[in-house]
């Protein structure tokens, strides 16, 4: 099973945890965000340099 890492906090996301998976609007890289980072609006940065809330 592939390990999923939150793009914002870099913590591993367990399979039972709530998270969101989406494509970067700039390069279509798959990004993951844990519930905590989404709730608190922590910033994330894609490998291409795109930043989002």
Give Rg (Cα) of the chain. Answer: 11
Question: Is 28 inside a domain boundary?
Answer: yes
pLDDT above 70: residue 1: no
Let me know: does 44 contact 52? Beta carbons within 8 Å.
yes
Phi, psi of 38 (to 5 degrees): -65, -45
- For 12-37, the pLDDT digits (tens) are 999 888 999 999 999 999 999 999 99
What's the number of domains the chain is made of? 1
Question: Is 18 inside a domain boundary?
Answer: yes
- pTM for the whole structure: 0.85
Average pLDDT, the chain: 93
Question: Is 53 inside a domain boundary?
Answer: no
Residues 50, 52, 53: CA angle, nearest 5 degrees: 170
Question: Is 23 inside a domain boundary?
Answer: yes
Structural domain range at position 13: 4-48
* Tokens 């490998």, located at residue: 47
- 44 closest CA partner among 17, 21, 18, 16: 21
């Amino acid at each position: 099973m592939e390990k999923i890492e939150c793009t914002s906090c870099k913590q591993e996301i367990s399979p039972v945890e709530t998270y969101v998976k989406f494509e970067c609007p700039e390069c279509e890289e798959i990004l993951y965000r844990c519930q905590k980072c989404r709730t608190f609006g922590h910033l994330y940065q894609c490998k291409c340099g795109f930043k989002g809330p």
